[in-house]
Amino acid sequence: MSQKTISRDTFKEWLADGSELAVLDIRAPDVVGYASPLFATNLPAEKVTGDLSRFVPRKVVRTVLADGGDGAAERLAADLAEAGWPNVFALEGGIPAWTAGGDGIALPTFDTPGVDFTLAVKDEKGTPVTSAEELKRLRDEGEDLIVIDTRTVPEFAREHVPGAISVPGAELVLRFKDVVPSEKTRVVVSCAGLPRAILGAQTLIDAKVPNKVSYLHDGTKAWTAAGLSLETGKTRTYGEVSQTAVEFARRQIEVLGSADRFPEIDIETARTWAADPDRTTYLLDVRTPEEFESGHLKDSLSSEGGQLLGVAYRTIAVRGARIVLIDDLLGARARIVAHWLQRRGYEIAILLVDFNSQELSNVA
pLDDT, tens digit (0-9, with 9 covering 90-100), for 239-280? 999 999 999 999 999 999 998 989 999 999 999 999 999 999
Tell me the C-alpha distance between 72 and 29, whole Å. 15
pLDDT above 90: residue 33: no
Summarised one tens digit per residue, pLDDT across range 290-315 is 999 999 999 999 999 988 887 888 88
pLDDT at 357: 77
Residue type, 258: S
**CA atoms within a 13 Å half-sphere pointing along the CA-CB vector of 326:** 27
- Sequence-ordered list of residues with C-beta below 8 angstroms from that of 86, at least 6 positions apart, any chain: 59, 60
Q: Please provide the average confidence, as pLDDT, over all residues in the chain.
A: 92
pLDDT above 70: residue 44: yes
Summarised one tens digit per residue, pLDDT across range 88-134 is 999 999 999 988 865 545 677 777 777 788 889 999 999 999 999 99
CATH class of 5-109: alpha beta
Structural domain spans, the chain:
5-109, 115-256, 267-352
Tell me the C-alpha distance between 185 and 352, whole Å. 32
If you average pLDDT over residues 54-70, what whole number do you get?
95
Task: Give this prediction's pTM.
Answer: 0.91
Q: How confident is the model at residue 355 (pLDDT cuts 50, 70, 90)?
A: very high
CATH superfamily of 267-352: Rhodanese-like domain (3.40.250.10)
Query: Is there a contact between 183 and 252 (Cβ–Cβ < 8 Å)?
Result: no
pLDDT at 227: 96
Query: Is there a contact between 160 and 231 (Cβ–Cβ < 8 Å)?
Result: yes
CATH class of 115-256: alpha beta
Q: What is the longest distance spanned by two Cα atoms in the chain?
A: 67
One fold for both 5-109 and 267-352?
yes
Summarised one tens digit per residue, pLDDT across range 283-292 is 999 999 999 9
Q: Is 270 exposed, middle or buried (0-12, 13-18, 19+ CB in 10 A)?
A: buried
Q: How confident is the model at residue 364 (pLDDT cuts 50, 70, 90)?
A: low
pLDDT at 39: 82
